[in-house]
Amino acid sequence: MYDVTALGELLIDFTDAGMSPSGQKLFERNPGGAPANVLVALQRLGHSTAFVGKVGCDMHGVFLRQTLEENDVDCSGLVSDPDHFTTLAFVALDPTGERTFSFARKPGADTQLRPEELNRDVLQNTRVLHVGSLSLTDEPARSATLEALHIARDAGATLSYDPNYRASLWPAAEVAAQQMRSVVGMMDLVKISAEETGLLTDESDPIEAARKILAQGPKIVVVTLDADGAMVVTAEGARMVPSFRVDATDTTGAGDSFWGGFLCAMLDSGMNVRDLTLDDAASFARFGNAVASLCVQGRGAIPAMPPRGAVEDVLTNNA
């Protein structure tokens, strides 16, 4: 039994790495993809994980599989595709560490996962299945995602969702909103950013957006508010959980590390998601904030994911 399985994109982040001696911009190859980032965070925090998705039979696909395996993520559900290239994302950073993205994904291997390629044994033996919305942008991965959600839910798994909107990967914002909303009613846990509130609900206010999502079935909604922290909303009410103030080097993977920490704390509690209180959810978010505070001080999402001891030190020093 795995603690968390994630399905979705596994890709290369070519991250801004300064200038060459000749004055040309340099990019450093880093493993990435939000679902994979969440899993590595969880592995570093002591939980067993598995990945379901697709990469190309190319140097980048080999590197990504090797990276996950080196981080003890089970890759029995990772398919290597001889016909499609591994997706690439070029990530530029501004002076504050914020990112802009440019993707090579026309199509990328991650969009080509077919329902019949799903590893059902993995999906039927996981406590949590986590997905994003980038696997909903194109067929056949969209159908594979929906099938995986049904398989895991029928086996009793908790379903977790982080839309992780990337405008350039959708034909239009209206299409993105339609697809991103299509799975909300299946979920137990939803994490969105402040920028995604309108896409998911037509509400700009984080609390009102979260309440609209709760009305569709999820038990906990978390709205991340960048450096300010996270707003946690349940049927009991809403609570702001402040972040830990740090000097950010690179915010790539910050939301993923936060959610890995949140899921870690939830799993540690041993509680059923239906029994969780607002106090519980706020405590999980605080743990997630501690994980994120360490991640943003590194470079590259997966390499920067912190071990559990470092997270506990942050919590102890900020008690």
Active site residues: 256
Q: Does residue 130 contact residue 163 with C-beta atoms inside 8 Å? A: no
CA distance 217 to 233: 13
The long-range contacts involving 96-99, CB below 8 angstroms and separated by at least 24 positions, are 96/248, 97/248, 97/249, 97/250, 97/251, 97/296, 98/251, 99/251, 99/252
Quick one: 162 exposed, middle or buried, by C-beta within 10 A (0-12, 13-18, 19+)?
buried
Sequence-ordered list of residues with C-beta below 8 angstroms from that of 259, at least 6 positions apart, any chain: 38, 41, 130, 160, 162, 191, 222, 288
CA distance 127 to 157: 5
Residue with tokens 């067929």: 139
Exposure of 251 in the CB half-sphere (CA atoms within 13 A): 17
CA distance 61 to 85: 8
CA distance 120 to 34: 22
CA distance 28 to 13: 8
Q: Does residue 27 contact residue 15 with C-beta atoms inside 8 Å? A: yes
25's tokens: 């911009």
CA distance 174 to 131: 20
Helix, strand, or coil here: 7?
A: strand
Beta-carbon neighbour count of residue 84 at 10 Å? 20
